[in-house]
Homo-oligomer: A and B are copies of this chain.
Amino acid sequence: MFTTYGQEDSTFIRSCFNTALSEGKSYSDLRELCKKVGARLSGSVEAEMAVEWAFQKLNTYGFDRVYKQEIMVPHWERGTKEAAWIKTNTGELIPMKILALGGSVGTQGSLRGELIVFKHLDELIKAKPKQIQDKIVLIDQKMNEQELVTFHAYGGCYQIRRNGAVEAAKLGAKAVLIRSLALPTDDHPHTGSMHYDDKVTKIPAAALSTRDCELIASQKGKIEFIFEMDCRVYPDAPSHNVIAEIKGSSNADQIITFGGHLDSWDAGEGAHDDGAGVVHCIEALRILKELGYRPKHTLRLVLFMNEENGNFGGKSYAKWVHEQGEKHAAALESDRGGFVPRGFACDGDTKYVQLIQSFSELLKPYGLHDFGPGYGGVDISPLKNEYPGIPLFGFVPDSQRYFDFHHAESDVFEAVNQRELELGCASMAAFLYLLDKNL
């Protein structure tokens, strides 16, 4: 599998970066997706707009094939804006900013109850039902700011969002609130998907901003929480993955899939999550085409729908391509934001980890230094079930600022830096080139 690298490789990679930095389309493409479409949760009209935007955009770049894969997706809507307050021990009413977690039931009018606060999900799980009965639970668990890779801190808190409602309802709570999964102390809640268990009462679930959690922690005595949420689940809706290809030469029947996800949460504009990944991938393919690269494998760009609340885009894609008898050589995903590139991760056999480590000298001049085992991405993960042994790769930008913006109103176009985005596009193009040549 291993070849040595020559002048032609370093020259080609230099061209990828020059094209991205001097004649790049990624920043204006991202502006369109964020400002003309905006937030685009699965099942919404905006998600349909995003599908149309992507389909037309890919057509303008003149790839060999552009098409859509029809899929079914969950359809949950926030409805009218949420409202919430605390009533303090002294009777003062203080407004709180909340966001329903995705998939939550509504409150059916306003809901109020005594607030009981736990500092950790485990404390809640160990609590007695009489402590919780008819109360509103707040899980005020902080992300660990000492984790250098912020995704690890996110992983450490993920279960409060996913399972908080089930654990609180088991003990008789009326509703559950969580501290937003955010590293900074900020003013806006961060939403995300949650989960119900059919055997447990479905209670409303929402995120509070980290600042509001600190305000609550500073209060003395009993607190009442009052809120209203109008969110609801609708029947599953049809939607699409959007796909473009450059056909391979010698190994045309061997496919390298790469992509990001078109859908986003309904706060902000889905700029880092995952507008950046979408334009990273579109621009990488555009650069390879622009530079006249003829790939060995078929390079297939997939803009997945519904990563955020169900992953039906990723699951449907893997099943569909396997049923069609396709051969898949590898997959690559960008879904960690539009920040400055650090490297690539490999979820696969050691020989593939070694392969990407062999790329590091070529990519070092561009600030990439982190090549090792790691996660590929949510959208491409289902390919592992259908193609055991397939190597999955994940683009790794710097993670320090990701949880300033994740699933929140702050995730807007202006939060993405043009050069950092362009360097990501060029890194993806260079990586695809090296993967295609050396697999």
Contacts and interface: CB of A to CB of B under 8 A. Distances in A.
Contact of A369 (B150, B340, B369): B369
A420 B404 CA distance: 12
B367 A398 contact: yes
Contacts of A367: 148, 342, 398
Interface of A: 17-18, 21-22, 145-146, 148, 150, 183-184, 340, 342, 365-367, 369-370, 398, 400-401, 404, 417-420, 423
Given A184-B418, A400-B423, A401-B420, A145 B21 contact: yes
Nearest to A18: B146
Contacts of A184: 418-419
- Which of A145, A401, A404, A417 counts the most B-chain CB atoms under 10 A from its CB? A145
Contacts of A370: 369
B419 A183 contact: yes
Number of copies: 2
Contacts of A340: 340, 398, 400
Contacts of A21: 145-146
Given A340-B340, A419-B400, A148 B365 contact: yes
A398 B401 contact: no
10 contacts: A17-B146, A17-B148, A21-B146, A148-B365, A183-B419, A340-B340, A367-B398, A400-B417, A400-B419, A401-B419
Contacts of A145: 21-22, 419
A165 B187 CA distance: 48
A426 to B, nearest CB: 10
Nearest to A14: B146
Nearest to A418: B184
Given A21-B145, A184-B418, A184-B419, 6 more contacts: A17-B146, A18-B146, A367-B398, A369-B369, A400-B419, A401-B420
Nearest to A183: B419
B366 A148 contact: yes
A148 B363 CA distance: 12
A361 to B, nearest CB: 13
Nearest to A420: B400
Contacts of A183: 419
B400 A146 contact: no
A173 B337 CA distance: 48
Nearest to A341: B400
A15 to B, nearest CB: 10
Nearest to A417: B401
Contacts of A146: 17-18, 21-22
Contacts of A417: 400-401, 404
A148 B422 CA distance: 11
A263 to B, nearest CB: 27
Most B C-beta atoms less than 10 A away, residue of A18, A148, A423:
A148
A21 B150 CA distance: 12
Contacts of A18: 146
From A17, A184, A398, A420, name the one whose CB has the most chain B CB atoms within 10 angstroms. A398
Contacts of A17: 146, 148
A367 to B, nearest CB: 7
